[in-house]
Copies of this chain bind each other. A is one copy, B any other.
Amino acid sequence: MWHQKTITLKPRNRGFHLITRDIISQLPELQEINIGMLNIFIQHTSASLTINENADPTVRDDFESHFNRFVPENEPYYRHTLEGSDDMPAHIKSSILGASLTIPITEGRLNMGTWQGVYLCEHRNHGGARRLVLTLQGE
């Protein structure tokens, strides 16, 4: 069994955002799968996806603080600067974190750990709505 859909996430501020529910609520078909996989793919190069702690919101704040120091704006060696000082760091952050996630499905549910959630990592100041391709497969 295969099922695929594209969803659009509402625009979010620059930072790390928990979106597990936004995804699951779009996938009633999950419940029909006993063993399978979900692939979540973001169709952008300045936002990304990761899995991390779903409880304390300061974890997500610390991600934003760290990545801003880790991949600074306005480095003198950046040449791709026409789209704004947040653009080239956004591309680098998105490749470090990645454009897709693959999550196992077990008995109709995403089989993540208790403390795991899916993050949208919005690296632009004004990134706008973001498109995700969700691909489910299983039996």
Chain A, interface size category, equals 35 or more
- CB contacts under 8 Å to B, within A55-110, are 56, 58-59, 61-63, 65-66, 69-71, 75, 77-80, 88, 91-92, 94-104, 106
Q: Which residue of B lies closest to A44 (CB)?
A: B113
Q: Is A39 an interface residue (CB 8 A)?
A: yes
Query: Which segment of A7-15, A21-29, A130-138 sits at the interface?
Result: A130-138
- CB contacts under 8 Å to B, within A1-44, are 2-4, 35-37, 39, 41-44
Contact A2 B95 (CB under 8 A): no
| In the complex, the 3 A-B pairs of residues with the closest C-beta atoms, listed nearest first | A43-B113, A58-B79, A58-B80
Contact B91 A52 (CB under 8 A): yes
Min CB gap A138→B, angstroms? 7
